[in-house]
Structure 1
Amino acid sequence: MNRDFGDLLSDNGTCFGTWIKLPVVDSVEMMAAAGFDFVAIDMEHAPLDILTVHQLIGAARGCGIPALVRVPDRTATTIGRVLDSGAAGVLIPHVDNIDDVRAVVSHARFPPHGSRGFGPTVRAGGWGADPRGYLATGERVVPVPQLESPEAIAAVDEIARVSGLGALFVGPADLAVAAGLPAESAEFGELLTRVRKAADAHAVPLGTAVGSPAAAQALPHHYDFVLVGNDATMLSQSARGIVHDLRTARDTSSSSTGQPKDLP
């Protein structure tokens, strides 16, 4: 059974997901089997085309977990296509002001609440069998602006007021670079606090991304959803760890037998 991302956010506690960067459906299946609550398919920082994204969303739906898609741009066409493929929501990078937010929310919603085109002969409409359900998805999908600049933080209170907003998302790495502040500095912490206060004041769910479980555990408890790592890095780190352990064991064995290290 497919679950809306909004329903997931309404549960108690923080929900955890991970980025999908590899263009293989097996990756989504493994993340779901591992127990992640959702996945976020990354079109911004991975070479994923719309057909691949369509297949990855299908895999997530088959596994019963919501799939968000981080789109590479803010166009109505891109947002509409990934939602038609069954995405539970869209993460929109580099949203800096209230006009940006109003536009992306409109692209995700059907009239009268938005401008999304109506075409129910797609996965989200049961391939034409469920036009009423397709129309209802316009109210359930979650448009999520990524706040990644000082301009966005300055406007966060206005942004959080926008009707139809699904959640807010802080991109900590991009924000630290854009603000020219060390991520561990008090000044950077004040930017994050400003976002949290706006989210709390307007009852908007708040999310972020970190690189490791330890970093996730160190986060304050006010985040409703957290993306932890990504499939490509998990594979890469695991492979490096295995090779490191193998070489360490080989070198230790060679040293103990007095054999040269470069001999098999």
Structure 2
Amino acid sequence: MKQFLDFCANRGGGLLGTWLKLPTLATVEMLGQAGFDYLVIDMEHAPHSLDQVYQFIFATQASGMAALVRLADHSGSDIQRLLDSGADGLLAPRMTSVETAERLTRQMVFSPNGERGLGTTSRAGSWGLTPMADYLKRGDEQCLRMVQLESWDTVEAVEDYLEIPTVSGVFIGHGDLYLSSGKSSSDPEVRKLTQRVADAARASGKLSGAAAATPEEAKIYTEMGYSLVMVSNDATIFAKAAAAAVAESRAR
């Protein structure tokens, strides 16, 4: 398990990751060997059960990457168990209000500053072997608590989300932003807003995240100063490689 926020700071941002959607451990190992810095295990748009996510967290970290998890919804019912499983951080999708962001991220912080319960005998506490002070410090100071801003109104309110003490990062969701605005990630207005998110996060001393469809787009976000940049996802990477292999073989 990484000291994730220190890892980000030491690298100076620009960490490269991808979404984990395929329910197979082999994919995790291959992505680690490919050189990704972290994976985001997707519970929102993939059919992963809690048991599977537990195994993915272990496999991701064993493959040399940080293991982040995107929550399925706003219920917060899985937060305690995901953190007890040793996840390096959580992403909360589709923020609709500052109050929702505060409610969810408070569940990721130990009492009295938050609502997370003590679980030192879990994997996060090395089954009771981690000293209490180290266990609490990792939970409060090293686990990422990132909220996804995915509508025009919420992205424009980025500074309000960054002011929440329990939020350690913001993530701009270009997919749903397109649905609410009709503007793609390459639209000049969207590019300007995307830069604003990175700048606001940097000014507040917090992290920023963005997802790209292609390596070319990922490079744009890295150059904007994003802390965490995601490129494609495991399923699409495999599907496109397979389709290209078939097309090239038939052409020859």
Per the normalisation by structure 1, the TM-score is 0.88
Aligned twin of 1:256: none
Aligned twin of 1:148: 150
Aligned twin of 1:127: 127
Between structure 1 and structure 2, the one with the greater Rg is: 1
Map 1:82-93 → 2, pairs under 5 A: 82-93=82-93
User: Any conservation in 2 of the 1:168–1:206 contact (CA below 8 Å)?
Assistant: yes
Counterpart residue identity of residue 191, structure 2: G
C-alpha distance in 2 between matches for 1:48 and 1:134: 27
Query: What is the CA distance between 1:122 and its match in structure 2?
Result: 1.4
Query: What is the CA distance between 1:180 and its match in structure 2?
Result: 2.6
C-alpha distance in 1 between matches for 2:186 and 2:219: 16
Residue aligned with 1:182, SS: coil
Aligned twin of 2:4: 5
- CA gap of 1:240–1:121, structure 2 versus 1, over 3 A, is same
Aligned twin of 1:257: none
User: Any conservation in 2 of the 1:104–1:143 contact (CA below 8 Å)?
Assistant: no
1:199 aligns with 2:198: no
C-alpha distance in 1 between matches for 2:172 and 2:210: 5
Q: Deviations over 1:107-133 (max 9, x none)?
A: 101101100122222111112333614
Residue aligned with 2:12, SS: coil
User: Any conservation in 1 of the 2:3–2:138 contact (CA below 8 Å)?
Assistant: no
Residue aligned with 1:18, SS: strand
Aligned twin of 2:139: 138
Q: Deviations over 1:171-201 (max 9, x none)?
A: 1111121223233323323332332342133
- CA gap of 1:131–1:115, structure 2 versus 1, over 3 A, is farther
Counterpart residue identity of residue 176, structure 1: Y
Query: What is the CA distance between 1:13 and its match in structure 2?
Result: 4.3
Q: Which runs of 5+ in 1 are unaligned?
A: 250-264
Aligned twin of 1:26: 26
Identity %: 37
User: Any conservation in 2 of the 1:8–1:15 contact (CA below 8 Å)?
Assistant: no
- CA gap of 1:123–1:53, structure 2 versus 1, over 3 A, is same
Residue aligned with 2:226, SS: coil
User: Any conservation in 1 of the 2:91–2:145 contact (CA below 8 Å)?
Assistant: yes
1:238 aligns with 2:241: yes
Counterpart residue identity of residue 5, structure 1: F
C-alpha distance in 2 between matches for 1:241 and 1:195: 35
Q: Deviations over 1:120-167 (max 9, x none)?
A: 221111123336143333212111000101231232111111113221
RMSD, aligned CA = 1.7
Q: Which runs of 5+ in 2 are unaligned?
A: none
Residue aligned with 1:183, SS: coil
C-alpha distance in 1 between matches for 2:128 and 2:202: 39
User: Any conservation in 2 of the 1:144–1:167 contact (CA below 8 Å)?
Assistant: yes
- Report the number of matched residues: 248
